[in-house]
């Protein structure tokens, strides 16, 4: 019943009265959420004269879920929604769309929950939220679908203490090139520049790679701790990826995440920051004019704890010294 709890978390800020009024609908819809679906939004829907009757709408990673007039569960797969339009009213926004051969009309209450819900729903359908409904034709939809929001649940093996919020559920999303948003439970998301990401098959190699990415002011663990955490958590059918992120103030935030085949497919769709891509592709580091003492010390530490072999240490040492 994890989905039921997720729905309740979205409604908690609205007060216990609302939670109590929608108790049956929360359970009904929550029970229909598949194990591979993520609850990503909740809204109050209205019907009838003056919009006095309220019911519940839930947005997941795959579907728009709600109930009909007989309070029976209904779900709309995003891929089967067509001809989507919006019509703003005084207290709500009417959405209309074709679903298979049926014409659907639903009113979303225009409170904070509803506004976020509508924007997320339009993102799912590849529609720019401020596009006038009369111009929302097939050609426009094809253009805006080029940059469709990528969303995924992530399991952080190391580095979660660097995030501003504490919690148990972590979501990553990319709505525009070069940046990603990471949210913890139902808290507001934090935006990072996406420098790069790497799939990791060798746990020790990943640990040394992260340590080599100097993290000033970070609480990120040492190489041995990283390798230990990853080695203890990775499963037979799982891979590990490292996300290299930057805050606006330049602070570097590396995160080690567990991922399966679907996660890797989504990661491959992420677009890196153009500045970082250009720098990595075209900029040649200037010749070393002094002995890189700190880097050599770090390499020696990695050799001592067994992260690097003697051959790897010697090769990296020669590279740093320009031999």
Report residue 40 as tokens.
Answer: 């990503």
Evaluate whether 67 touches 73 at the Cβ level (below 8 Å).
Answer: yes
Give the CB-side neighbour count of residue 41, counting CA atoms within 13 A.
24
Contact by Cβ (8 Å): 40, 10: no
Q: Could you tell me which of 301, 293, 299 has the C-alpha nearest to residue 313?
A: 299
The pLDDT of residue 85: 92
pTM here?
Answer: 0.43
In angstroms, rounded to a whole number, what is the distance separating the alpha carbons of residues 126 and 140? 10
Question: Which pLDDT does position 73 carry in this prediction?
Answer: 94
- Assign 190 to helix, strand or coil: strand
Give the helix ranges, DSSP H, for the chain.
Answer: 2-11, 16-21, 23-30, 112-124, 138-144, 203-212, 223-233, 261-269, 274-282, 293-304, 310-321
The phi and psi torsions of 112 (rounded to 5 degrees) equal -60, -40
Strand order through the sheet with 73-77 = 73-77, 63-67, 53-60, 39-47, 102-109, 92-99, 81-88
Cβ–Cβ contacts within 10 Å for residue 280, how many?
A: 11
Record the tokens describing residue 176, joined without a space: 């525009």
DSSP 8-state assignment for residue 231: H
Stated length of the chain: 323
| CB neighbours of residue 82 within 10 Å | 12
DSSP 3-state assignment of 124?
A: helix
> Which residues lie below 8 Å from residue 284, measured CB to CB, with a gap of 6+?
none
Q: For residue 13, give every residue at least 6 positions away whose Cβ sits within 8 Å of its Cβ, in sequence order, or none.
A: none
What pLDDT shows up at residue 105? 93
Structural tokens at position 92: 């709500």
Per-residue pLDDT of the chain (323 residues), as tens digits, is: 578 888 988 888 888 888 888 999 999 999 999 877 888 999 999 987 666 789 999 999 999 999 988 889 999 999 899 999 999 988 899 999 999 889 999 999 999 899 999 999 998 888 876 544 444 444 433 333 345 678 889 988 888 888 988 888 899 998 888 899 999 987 888 999 999 888 866 545 555 555 555 443 344 444 444 555 455 555 555 678 888 999 989 888 888 888 888 888 888 888 888 754 444 444 445 454 455 667 777 777 777 767 778 887 888 777 777 76
pLDDT of 312 reads 78
Say what the pLDDT of residue 5 is: 87
pLDDT of amino acid 50: 63
Instruction: Read off the tokens for 71.
Output: 């309070």
Residue 321 DSSP symbol: H
Give me the pLDDT at residue 159, please.
Answer: 84
């Amino acid at each position: 019943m994890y989905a039921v709890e997720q729905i309740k978390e979205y409604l908690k800020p609205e007060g216990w009265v609302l939670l109590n009024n929608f108790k049956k609908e929360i359970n009904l819809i929550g029970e229909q959420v598949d194990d591979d679906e993520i609850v990503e939004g909740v809204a109050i829907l209205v019907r009838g004269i003056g919009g006095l009757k309220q019911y519940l709408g839930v947005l997941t990673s795959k579907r728009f879920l709600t109930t009909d007039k007989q309070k029976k569960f209904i779900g709309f797969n995003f891929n089967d929604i067509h001809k989507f339009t919006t019509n703003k009213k005084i207290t709500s926004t009417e959405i209309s769309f074709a679903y298979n051969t049926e014409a659907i009309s639903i009113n979303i209450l225009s409170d904070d929950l509803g506004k976020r819900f509508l924007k997320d729903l339009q993102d799912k359908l590849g529609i720019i939220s401020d596009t006038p409904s009369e111009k929302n034709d097939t050609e426009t939809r094809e253009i805006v679908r080029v940059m469709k929001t990528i969303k995924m649940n992530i399991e952080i093996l190391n580095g979660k203490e660097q995030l501003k919020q504490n919690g148990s559920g972590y979501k990553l999303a990319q709505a525009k090139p070069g940046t990603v948003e990471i949210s913890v439970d139902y808290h507001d998301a934090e935006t990072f520049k996406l420098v790069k990401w790497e799939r990791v098959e060798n746990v020790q190699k990943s640990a040394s790679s992260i340590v080599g990415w100097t993290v000033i002011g970070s609480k990120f663990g040492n190489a041995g701790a990283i390798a230990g955490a990853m080695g203890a958590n990775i499963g037979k059918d799982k891979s590990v990826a490292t996300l290299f992120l930057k805050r606006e103030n330049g602070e570097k935030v590396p995160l080690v995440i567990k991922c399966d085949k679907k996660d890797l497919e989504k990661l491959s769709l992420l677009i890196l920051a153009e500045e970082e891509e250009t720098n990595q592709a075209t900029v040649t580091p200037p010749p070393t004019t002094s002995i890189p003492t700190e880097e050599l010390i770090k390499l020696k530490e990695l050799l001592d704890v067994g992260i690097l072999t003697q051959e790897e240490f010697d090769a990296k040492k020669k590279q740093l010294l320009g031999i």
